[in-house]
Amino acid sequence: MITSSPTPLRASRETGRPPVSVSFEFFPPKNEEMEKTLWASVGRLAPLSPSFVSVTYGAGGSTRERTHATVERLARETALSPAAHLTCVAATRDEVDEVVRAYKAAGINHIVALRGDPVTGVGTRYEPHPDGYAFASDLVAGIKRIGDFEVSVSAYPEKHPESASLDADIDVLKAKVDAGATRAITQFFFENDVYFRYLDKVRARGIDIPILPGILPVTNFKQASSFATRTGASVPAWLLRRFEGLDDDPETRKLIAAAVAAEQVTDLVDRGVTDIHFYTLNRADLVYAICHLLGLRPQADGVPQAVAV
Question: CB-based contacts of 150: which residues, under 8 Å, 6+ apart?
Answer: 83, 109, 110, 111, 182, 183
Tens-place pLDDT, residues 271-307: 999 999 999 999 999 999 999 989 898 854 544 444 3
Tens-place pLDDT, residues 192-245: 999 999 999 999 999 999 999 999 998 788 888 888 888 889 999 999 999 999
Strand partners, 25: 54, 279
Q: What is the mean pLDDT of the chain?
A: 87
Give a yes or no: residue 38 inside a domain: yes
Question: Domain of 190?
Answer: 21-306
Give a yes or no: residue 12 inside a domain: no
Q: Is the pTM of this model over 0.85?
A: yes
Residue 64's nearest CA partner among 121, 1, 140, 116 is 116
Q: CA-to-CA distance for 48 and 26, rounded, in angstroms?
A: 15
61 pLDDT higher than 80 = no
Give a yes or no: residue 8 inside a domain: no
Q: What is the pLDDT of residue 206?
A: 97
Q: What is the pLDDT of residue 59?
A: 58
The alpha carbon torsion through 239, 241, 243, 247 (nearest 10 deg) reads: 140
Q: CA-to-CA distance for 112 and 109, rounded, in angstroms?
A: 10
Sign of the alpha-carbon dihedral angle for 22, 63, 154, 131: negative
Give a yes or no: residue 60 inside a domain: yes
User: For the chain, how many structural domains are there in total?
Assistant: 1
Share in percent of the chain as helix, strand, coil (round to 5) = 45, 15, 45
18 pLDDT higher than 80 = no
Give a yes or no: residue 2 inside a domain: no
CB 153 within 8 A of CB 184: yes
Give a yes or no: residue 63 inside a domain: yes
CB 88 within 8 A of CB 116: yes
Give a yes or no: residue 9 inside a domain: no
Report the CATH number that the domain containing residue 301 is assigned in CATH. Answer: 3.20.20.220
Q: Assign 62 a pLDDT band (cuts: 50, 70, 90).
A: low
Tens-place pLDDT, residues 88-127: 888 899 999 999 999 999 999 999 999 987 665 666 677 8
| Catalytic (active-site) positions | 25
Q: CA-to-CA distance for 245 and 148, rounded, in angstroms?
A: 51
Tens-place pLDDT, residues 154-170: 999 999 988 999 999 99
